[in-house]
Every structure is written in C-alpha cells, then in structure tokens.
Amino acid sequence: MNTFPLFFKLTNQPVLIVGGGEVAQRKADLLSRAGTHITILAPDISEEIKQLLSDDKHSLIAEQYDKKYLTGKRIVIAGTDDEALNHQVHADCQALNIPVNVVDTPPLCDFIFPAIVDRNPIVIGISSNGKAPVLARLTRARLETLIPQGYGKLAKLAGDMRDEVKSKIPTLTGRRQFWEKAFEGKVSELMFAGREADAEQALKQDLAATYSRLLNQKTDNGSDTDLDNQTNIGEVYIVGAGPGDPELLTFKALRLMQQADIVYHDALVSDAVLDLCRRDADKVFVGKKRSNHAVAQQGINQLMIDAAKSGKRVVRLKGGDPFVFGRGGEEIQALRAAGIPYQVVPGITAAGAASCYTGIPLTHRDHAQSVRFVTGFLKSGEPNTGFAALTNPEETVVFYMGLHSIERLTKGLMDAGRDPNTPIAIISQASLPTQQVMTGTLQDIVAKHEANPLPTPALLIVGAVAQLHDELAWFGENIVDTDQQAHALNMI
C-alpha cells in the first residue's frame, strides 16, 4: 500500500479550506456531510458556497490567505488556482504538523479524498493514490450498483441491538452465526424492501428464538451451539431475468441471485445472466419450450415449495418479466397457499427490449396511441383467435410466442379487417449480439420469413410504428428487405 486507509472522526471538528471557487465548493459539500465546522478563506467566495455554508457553525472569511488562520484546525484543504499559494499553504501546514490536502497535487497531500460509497454508518472509500481518479470514480459507481441503500439502516439496527445480542448469545461463534443469518436472510430483505419496523421485529423474534434454543440445548461443558443446525423456513424470489443481456438486470435481481441457495431457471435465461448467480448455488433447469416442458408447472411450484420448507433461499429465474406471460402469478398463488414467503422482482419484458433495441417505439404520437400485448396461444394450448379486438390502426400489437404461427396470425388480422399493408417486424433474440430484425407487411412477411427464417426466441410487432425501424435502428443485425435488396443489385 502506498497510502494507509484511515477514517477520521470530523464531527464538530474545525476544518479550513483555502479557496472560494468550484473546487472549494466540492470539498465543502463533502465535508459538511461529515458534520465539520468549515472555515472558507478567500478574497472572493462564490454564491454557491455562501448558500451551502449559510448556518452559524461555518465561517466565511473574505480575505487573502494568512497562516494565522491555520491555528487550531484539524485538517486543511488548499483549493486555489494559484500554484505558489498552494505550495505556501502546504509548507505552513507542514511546519505546524497539520494534515493538508492540496487538490489535484498528490505530492503535496498528506491525505487523499477517496471516492466514497456512503451507506452511513457503512462507508467505503476507494483511492488510486492520485494515479487514476477517474478509475476510482468508476469503481465507486460499480459498488453503488451492488450495495443496496438499506445497508446503512441495517447496520444501524445491528448497532442498536448489539449489546442485547451479546448478552443473550455469549460465544463469539454463536454471535457470528446469528448475524450472518440476519444479514443474509429475512431481516435484511425486509430492510431492503423499506419495511424497517418489520425488519426490527423479525430480528428481535430471531434473537428470542435463538436464546430459547440455547437455553434448552446448552451442553454440560458449555460448548458452542451450532446455529446452522436450526432449520427455519426459507423464501422464494421470483426474479425477472430480462431479455438476456446481463446489463439489463435490476440491482435487486442481481443481489438476490447472489444470495440464492438454489436457482430454478427457464430456457430463455441466457448463460451470461445465469453466470451472475451465486457460484456455489444449485442451478436447476426447469425450462419450457414449445411442446417440450422439462418440468410441468405444478412440478416447478412443488420444487420451490419443498426447497423453501427445507430452509433454502430460492430464486425462480424467469426470462423477461415474471408477470408478462411468465406465469409468475400462478407460481406465487401456489407459494401463498403453502405459506411460503416470497418476493417478486420485475424484469425488462421482451416487448420493451425488442422495441428499444430495434428503434421501434411501441407508442408514438404520429402512429400509435396505445399498445396491446397478446400471446399466440392460450393456457389450454389452443390458438388465440381474438383478432376482432386487434384491428385499430392506431394501436400497436405485440405478439409473444407468435413466430411459429405467424401465418395464422397475419391471416387472422387481415380477415378481421386490419389493412394488409400494415407494417410488421419480427425481432429475433432481442438485445443480444445475435439480434436480427425482419420487416414487411401483413401480406408479405410470411413469404419473407419462409425465404430467410429467423431463430427463436422472437416476437412480432404489428402497427405503423414498425416502419420506423429503418430510420431509428441502432443495434444488431437487420435482415434486408428482399425488395430493397433486389433494387440495390439493379443499381450496381
């Protein structure tokens, strides 16, 4: 280590900032959050600083620098654009043994301002020792995505309960096991979900139950009781995995995937997404493809129930969004009937991904004032034939699971009265590097697809908005319209 990380207690401590511009403002903003008493020393002090430090505990001195203002200061920051002055401040602080930071000048810094992830009282500082501050900032951004905002509240609750836990669980091993269960289980999930009172109540209940078991199971020689032998009911997380691109996962989805004991996943969950699950979790494929179900839905429900009853944290990882043709509703009905606690995490549904990644807006003031999501097949396996409700020319229709029945769907729409020249797009493997798009009209898209079939998974977008693809497309590979291709060859 070139520098040793330390955390200073600066609450109510006097701090001097030499400089009154933007740099000084950034440091003042950061230090004010730590509860410091800030003195700004500069002949010209910006209005932004005056507004930021408007209360009585801060001082604004509109004068030239004088080393007399260093007296009694805990730390000093020099943030001026005068290099000679910055060197003078550094030299004066060295003589008085006061830690000093000269902004953007690492050789003149006794301490460094790190990039900070603040989950008070949990605080993380990241530093590159002045070598690559942008990289430190990007590292901080990545950590921000991985650490829930509720971590601070969880830490505060643990601090409030620490003495009570210590009094009721006498061994270090026992306390460690208790806190591990709290921080990785129901208590943390309740806190992260914003249910602070429920989290506190759950922690107190867990402590009471643990204390009771310890009293009943204490051995004659007073050895530690292994809390891992205590079986509690687990929980099920119904998680939307999105369209396949792992960068489109939500923060919450990633966090729950990282703590799962077992993962039941669909065929539409990409390998890249599955790789983000906890490395040592059991991963069980229960996918469904057309006319080929690895595990029937009732079997999946029972697998989740049995795993949760054995105390496991279960992730049901589903492509797209669990509540958009994902059977998530059926699964939580089964969990609820069995008394299993659960959470549902939304994902980016295929229609949203296909729309954005192809430049086909599902609604557009000039073309479509509404959008309808439709499945190609009903629960019984029978084809969906409700075409009469899908003829509005100002409405976009998205067909899920419709590629294998595209001829029936397009004919049904035209027979119901939809214009044969209505634009349509087939989007295959939306958002992935293998994404492909084919455009046409209701009357010619079947022939185009037969000539150049696209792989599944794919969906259909029907409506005037589909014609915007050529203008707005920005990602992936397009299947060139055969008429356009012929015209291009004639021009050569």
> Tens digit of pLDDT for each residue in 236-288?
999 999 999 999 999 889 989 988 899 999 998 999 999 999 888 999 999 86
Same fold, 235-347 and 351-491: no
> Annotated catalytic residue: which of 168, 252, 288, 411?
288
Distance, in Å, from the CA atom of 374 to the CA atom of 297, rounded to the nearest integer, reads 21
Asked whether the predicted pLDDT for residue 377 surpasses 70, the reply is no
Asked whether the predicted pLDDT for residue 61 surpasses 90, the reply is yes
Annotated binding site: 22-23, 43-44, 243, 319-321, 324, 349-350, 401, 430
Q: Hey, CA dihedral for 127, 132, 133, 136, is it positive or negative?
A: negative
Lowest mean pLDDT, pick from 272-276, 378-382, 431-435: 378-382
Confidence of residue 439 (pLDDT cuts 50, 70, 90): very high
Question: Mapped to the 3 state alphabet, what secondary structure does 32-77 carry?
Answer: HHCCCEEEEECCCCCHHHHHHCCCCCCEEECCCCCHHHHCCCCEEE
pLDDT, position 289: 60
Asked whether the predicted pLDDT for residue 225 surpasses 50, the reply is no
Q: What is the mean pLDDT of residues 385-405?
A: 92
Q: What's the CATH superfamily of 14-113?
A: NAD(P)-binding Rossmann-like Domain (3.40.50.720)
Asked whether the predicted pLDDT for residue 314 surpasses 90, the reply is yes
Three-state DSSP class for residue 102: strand
Q: Any residues with CB less than 8 A from the CB of 132 and at least 6 apart, and which?
A: none
Nearest to 240 by CA among 331, 169, 321: 321
- Residue 42 in contact with residue 82, Cβ under 8 Å? no
Please tell me which residue, 344 or 144, carries the higher pLDDT value: 344
Q: How far is CA 333 from each of CA 1, 34, 330, 375, 410, rounded to the nearest angstrom?
A: 54, 47, 5, 21, 35
Q: What is the mean pLDDT of residues 24-37?
A: 94
Q: How many residues does the chain have?
A: 492
Q: What is the mean pLDDT of residues 417-425?
A: 96
Q: What one-character-per-residue DSSP string does 307-328 give? A: HHHTT-EEEEEESB-TTSSS-H
Q: What is the mean pLDDT of residues 373-387?
A: 74
Confidence of residue 360 (pLDDT cuts 50, 70, 90): very high
Lowest mean pLDDT, pick from 56-60, 124-128, 231-235, 453-457: 231-235
Distance, in Å, from the CA atom of 31 to the CA atom of 152, rounded to the nearest integer, reads 19
Verify whether residue 27 is a known catalytic residue: no
Verify whether residue 288 is a known catalytic residue: yes
pLDDT, position 32: 94
Please tell me which residue, 71 or 481, carries the higher pLDDT value: 71
Asked whether the predicted pLDDT for residue 224 surpasses 60, the reply is no
> Annotated catalytic residue: which of 206, 245, 266, 312?
266
Average pLDDT over all residues of the chain: 89
Confidence of residue 63 (pLDDT cuts 50, 70, 90): very high
Q: What is the mean pLDDT of residues 46-72?
A: 95
Residue 426 parent element (H or E): strand 423-428
pLDDT digit string (tens) for 124-140?
A: 999 888 788 889 889 98
Three-state DSSP class for residue 336: helix
Distance, in Å, from the CA atom of 492 to the CA atom of 479, rounded to the nearest integer, reads 20
CATH class of 235-347: alpha beta
Nearest to 468 by CA among 419, 418, 424: 424
351-491: CATH number: 3.30.950.10
- CB under 8 A, 24+ apart: contacts of 362-368: 362/396, 362/398, 362/461, 362/465, 363/396, 363/465, 364/464, 364/465, 364/468, 367/394, 367/396, 367/463, 367/464, 367/465, 367/467, 367/468, 368/394, 368/395, 368/396, 368/463, 368/464, 368/465
Confidence of residue 291 (pLDDT cuts 50, 70, 90): low
Residue 203 parent element (H or E): helix 196-217
Q: What is the domain partition of the chain in residue ranges?
A: 14-113, 151-220, 235-347, 351-491
Asked whether the predicted pLDDT for residue 462 surpasses 60, the reply is yes
Report strand pairing: 115-119 vs 122-126: antiparallel
